[in-house]
């Protein structure tokens, strides 16, 4: 049985700036992508939106997210 690919776009305000990213979920992993980079992690007990925002925040803090 094939799993449906989940994907979408979202925004987050961090320190007064708005950041945009996309995400996709496949094979038990979530990947968040910006023009500057991407981060992935396994899906766990946290909600999808919470994980996506955590990954985007990590991209922002490491300088790999564009406004």
Distance CA 38, CA 15 (A): 20
**Alpha-carbon distance values, 49 to 1, 2, 6, 21 (Å):** 25, 23, 12, 12
Q: Is residue 49 part of a domain?
A: yes
Say if pTM beats, i.e. exceeds, 0.85. yes
At 15-50, the pLDDT tens digits run: 999 999 999 999 999 999 999 999 999 998 899 999
At residue 3, does pLDDT exceed 80? no
pLDDT-derived band at 1 (thresholds 50, 70, 90) equals very low
Total count of domains within the chain? 1
Token code pair at residue 61: 């803090």
Q: Is residue 67 part of a domain?
A: no
**Domain range holding 22?**
6-60
Nearest to 64 by CA among 23, 32, 41, 42: 32
């Amino acid at each position: 049985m094939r799993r449906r690919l989940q994907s979408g776009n979202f925004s987050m305000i961090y320190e007064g700036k708005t950041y945009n990213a996309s995400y996709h979920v496949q094979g038990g992993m979530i990947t968040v992508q910006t023009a500057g980079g991407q981060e992935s992690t396994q899906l766990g007990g946290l909600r999808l939106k919470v994980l996506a925002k955590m990954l985007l925040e990590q991209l922002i803090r490491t300088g790999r997210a564009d406004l």
